[in-house]
């Protein structure tokens, strides 16, 4: 039996809470996620969960760092030092909290949102597609990421390899800039590498 989630309600909430540009990005992520889901044979049930995750993935994106921290405290979400020092990723934690507490979404949805920026150790197919759809949706251009065409190509064919290539690239980019890499990204990359190598 397929999960029937209130997708239209989620879409309306996203439109109300986000700027016009951010909402347009959200809709493109949803569409790209559905396209990738079809290519990778996701069930109707998992596709519904994926669409919900796509609609809510940036639901708290435009809040201030202070408001993210207030929500995390309110919902008992523990943040480590690395997360606290990276305001640009806080929305994945507060967004997962919002999905769970405000919208009563299943854990599959919340987990995908929780890892859509940094990645995570145990990313199921829904989480992998959300992670990649956010990166390769049609609004992303070569000007903003010269490697996006490669990731798009891989995302259509091999989710694990696409995630691995992107995570390796992100780690290298951050280190070249002299910035720290979040432990979740390091752990996610290692897990993807182990999985990919085990298939060789």
The Cα angle at residue 11 between residues 6 and 13, in degrees rounded to 5: 95
The CATH number of the domain holding residue 67 is 1.10.3210.10
Chain-centroid distance of CA 196 in Å reads 20
pLDDT, residue 110, reads 98
Q: Is residue 74 part of a domain?
A: yes
- Number of structural domains the chain divides into: 1
Question: Is 18 within 8 Å of 26 (Cβ atoms)?
Answer: yes
Chain-centroid distance of CA 141 in Å reads 18
pLDDT, residue 151, reads 93
Q: Is residue 72 part of a domain?
A: yes
**What are the two backbone dihedrals, phi and then psi, of residue 32, each rounded to the nearest 5 degrees?**
-65, -40
pLDDT, residue 194, reads 96
Q: What is the pTM of this model?
A: 0.94
Helix (H, G, I), strand (E, B) or coil at 16: helix
Q: Is residue 112 part of a domain?
A: yes
Reference 192, options 114, 111, 131; nearest CA is: 131
Reference 50, options 108, 1, 115; nearest CA is: 108
The Cα angle at residue 50 between residues 195 and 96, in degrees rounded to 5: 90
Q: How far is it, in rounded angstroms, from Cα 141 to Cα 137? A: 9
Chain-centroid distance of CA 180 in Å reads 20
Q: Is residue 191 part of a domain?
A: no
- The boundaries of the domain holding residue 120 are 7-141
Reference 195, options 172, 148, 168, 163; nearest CA is: 163
pLDDT, residue 147, reads 79
Start-to-end C-alpha separation, the chain: 36
pLDDT, residue 143, reads 61
Q: Is residue 43 part of a domain?
A: yes
Q: Is residue 176 part of a domain?
A: no
Q: Is residue 181 part of a domain?
A: no
pLDDT, residue 1, reads 40
pLDDT along the chain (200 residues), means of 10: 79 98 98 98 97 98 95 92 87 97 97 97 96 94 75 96 96 90 94 92
For 164, half-sphere exposure in the C-beta direction (CA atoms, 13 angstrom radius) is 13
Q: Is residue 169 part of a domain?
A: no
């Amino acid at each position: 039996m397929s999960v029937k989630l209130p997708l239209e309600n989620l879409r309306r909430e996203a439109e109300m809470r986000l700027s016009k540009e951010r909402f347009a990005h959200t809709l493109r992520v949803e569409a790209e996620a559905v396209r990738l889901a079809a290519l990778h044979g996701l069930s109707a049930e998992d596709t519904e969960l994926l669409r919900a995750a796509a609609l809510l993935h940036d639901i708290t994106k435009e809040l201030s760092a202070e408001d993210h921290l207030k929500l995390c405290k309110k919902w008992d979400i523990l943040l480590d030092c690395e997360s606290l020092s990276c305001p640009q990723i806080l929305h994945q934690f507060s967004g997962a909290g919002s999905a769970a507490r405000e919208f009563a979404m299943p854990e599959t949805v919340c987990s995908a949102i929780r890892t859509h920026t940094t990645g995570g150790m145990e990313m199921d197919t829904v989480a992998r597609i959300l992670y990649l759809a956010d990166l390769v949706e049609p609004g992303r251009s070569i000007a903003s990421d010269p490697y996006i065409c490669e990731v798009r190509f891989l995302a259509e064919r091999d989710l694990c390899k696409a995630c691995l290539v992107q995570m390796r690239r992100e780690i290298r980019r951050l280190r070249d800039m002299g910035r720290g890499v979040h432990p979740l990204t390091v752990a996610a990359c290692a897990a993807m590498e182990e999985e990919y190598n085990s298939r060789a």
